[in-house]
Structure 1
Amino acid sequence: MGTISQFLSITAVPTPAGLILHQNRYAQSILQRAGMHCKTVNTPITDKSHKTTNYSSLFFDPLLYRQLVGSLQYLTLTRPDISYAVNKACQYMHRPTDSNFEGVKHFLRYIKGSMHHGLPLSRNSLELTSYVDLDWVGDQQDKKSTTGYCTFLGSSLISWSVKKQKTIARSSTKEEYRALATTAADLIWLCQLLQELDRPQYAPTNLLCDNTSAIALANNPVFHARTKHIEIDCHFIRECIKNKTIYVHHISTKDQLADIFTKPLSMERFQHINLKLTSSSDSSVCQGVLTQ
């Protein structure tokens, strides 16, 4: 069928390293529907929009709110940098308020200033690496935690998730351990998929976490006698380590890329991580001309 250029509103831009997938036209249609003719911002969510109160009045057009947020869900296919902001917006679809809509307008302004950002795919390596993080008791209203993880195939981001925990935990170790188990399940599925594609993972997959207690719990069976409050289905991660399917490493919090999926970040911190997840399609198009 020839070289790929458009597929389901996703544009594929060839680069020397591989491809960049972006949804520039789709993002423009969302901004037009919202009537966003405004200045841009540098981050998709702020602490102010993160700490939404219940005292704000109901938004006059909840259908518009649901249409915009539903459209933004599809945009996250190539924009992992807005995944956390969209996840927060989705939590208020049933009863959106004026402050909720102000939060949506804020990251629409961010999208307007980053229209050409997309997902880079390169052909360098086929080794899986995953990052997992947790914002313990991050929600100011119900005190629930948010889990975020991302998985790279070589240097290409291929899987990521933002999920709010269903229950409230009194221990950050318990929630981090649950996040490890969730990420391990996704890694096992990816390893099986690569096996079917004749690209097996011969070495244990590296799973990077910044919580030393959760790592010790996963590696040391002696700790399990003191943690009966953790569900049995979470302990399968220990079996994965014994079977050498995954290997849990410690990583410094400042190097934790999954941090962008769990909480609002400062502009410097957000841009530092975002540069490692996304790329600008404009720079790839002009690269050859600038080199000449």
Structure 2
Amino acid sequence: MAQPPGFVDSIYSSSVCKLHKSLYGLKQAPRAWNERFTNFLPSLGLQTTYADTSLFVKHTESGVVILLLYVDDIIIRMSATTIISEVISALATEFDIKDLGSLHYFLGIQITQTAEGLFLSQHNYVNDLLTKTEMHQSKPCATPCLPHNRLLKDDGTPFDNPALYRSIVGALQYLTFTRLDIAFFVHQVCQFMHCPMKSHYLAIKRILRYLKMTQHYGIQYVKGELELNTFSDVDWAGDPNDRRSTTGFVVFLGTNPISWSSKKQNTVSRSSTEAEYRAIATTATKIDWMKQILAFLQIDISIPSTMFCDNLSAIALTCNPVMHQRTKHIEIDVHFVRERIAKQLLHMEFVSSTKQFVDILTKGLSAPLFHAHCCNLRLRDPPPELEGGC
């Protein structure tokens, strides 16, 4: 550290200032602020959950107070509004805060409260992204990718502006928080950020053209049964560059998708059964994590979670106690899943490939099937609003 140029003290030229508080904008400021804020919350009875360090919970006779923290943005939820007022007042005495009222916008996500539930979208974010990339007047397309299309590592000539490529891909990654319909295709273009080709940039432009057509899309959350169900699928050896498989899963709370992923597996699978079983084990860990979160919120999921899979061999392997040479290399995943089935924490069900919603997270699909899966995953336009009513 050194004194700023032009403000060097002639007497104490080798000295520097000691900060008693962190300055906004410094590298250490977010960490210092987070530590200061989280150390104060236990005095209000709010305890962190080990499943998610940004989630704080307080149990009272009236219910549960939930506080979600992201740097300096906070969401507080509670059935009794008086307790929320007490928490906000206590925070105001310690910090300079601003109460923005009911939740309608958080980290670029728009929340619309309807009679049925909540509608989450990133319409403004999509509109800003299209304007930034000069694609707001582009011709829209029905899908973000051609059916069964895969990108090759050395296809064509290098793209002349890698920084632009990385900037757009980073923006698209944030958009997958509410747009699981583009998660697989964003995952595809993310693999070539170190050395993008022109063909990869054309794939990004197709995603943007699809967003132009569906920029109002969001997820509709409605009230329903408190049960966890999942769909797990894999595209076996689908990556032509290294022949690794792509895992896709969606976790539903009732009929609402609450967690999803599209990710390439770490190792090459020698059979479709092995690839499917690795995907099942990955999805099972996500179910365990979701149950931990719900338990902190005093939501008890007593019935076994159902996992839907379209591979009969993988389903049979979850119940077959016989270990043989062909499954020795995935023995840990086998025992991990079987243990949960034996404890009646997980139940496997077969689903036909035509009704496997998670295909949207593992491969490119035809337009009719793609939009059918979007509807099943509760992706749609915002609910209509009446105008001029009294």
8 A Cα contact 1:181 1:235, kept in partner = no
TM-score normalized by the length of structure 2 = 0.71
Match of 1:228, SS state, is helix
Displacement of 1:114:
0.2
What corresponds to 1:120 in structure 2? Answer: 220
8 A Cα contact 2:153 2:192, kept in partner = no
How many angstroms apart in 1 are the aligned matches of 2:244 and 2:343?
32
Q: Pairwise CA RMSD of aligned residues?
A: 1.9
What corresponds to 2:239 in structure 1? Answer: 139
Displacement of 1:278:
3.5
How many angstroms apart in 2 are the aligned matches of 1:226 and 1:143?
19
Match of 1:54, SS state, is coil
Match of 1:43, SS state, is coil
Give the letter aligned to residue 196 of structure 1. Answer: F
Name the count of aligned residue pairs. Answer: 290
8 A Cα contact 2:149 2:364, kept in partner = no
Match of 1:141, SS state, is coil
- 1:67 paired with 2:167, answer yes
Displacement of 1:277:
1.6
Match of 1:147, SS state, is strand
What corresponds to 1:3 in structure 2? Answer: 102
What corresponds to 2:194 in structure 1? Answer: 94
Distance of aligned partners of 1:230 and 1:261 in 2 relative to their CA distance in 1, 3 Å threshold: same
Give the letter aligned to residue 181 of structure 1. Answer: A
Displacement of 1:229:
2.2
Match of 1:21 among 110, 116, 120: 120
Identity %: 42
Give the letter aligned to residue 44 of structure 1. Answer: P
- 1:268 paired with 2:368, answer yes
8 A Cα contact 1:131 1:209, kept in partner = yes
Task: Please give the residue correspondences for 1:198-213 in structure 2 after superposition, counting only pairs within 5 Å.
Answer: 198-213=298-313
Displacement of 1:123:
1.5
How many angstroms apart in 1 are the aligned matches of 2:368 and 2:388?
27
TM-score normalized by the length of structure 1 = 0.94
Match of 2:298, SS state, is coil
Give the letter aligned to residue 273 of structure 1. Answer: H
Displacement of 1:42:
0.5
8 A Cα contact 1:49 1:100, kept in partner = no
8 A Cα contact 1:22 1:119, kept in partner = yes
Which structure: larger Rg? Answer: 2
How many angstroms apart in 1 are the aligned matches of 2:143 and 2:354?
18
How many angstroms apart in 2 are the aligned matches of 1:214 and 1:291?
55
Give the letter aligned to residue 25 of structure 1. Answer: N
How many angstroms apart in 2 are the aligned matches of 1:75 and 1:188?
26
Give the letter aligned to residue 169 of structure 1. Answer: S
- Structure 2: stretches of 5+ with no match in the other structure: 1-98
| Worse overlay, 140-149 or 176-185 | 140-149
- Structure 1: stretches of 5+ with no match in the other structure: none
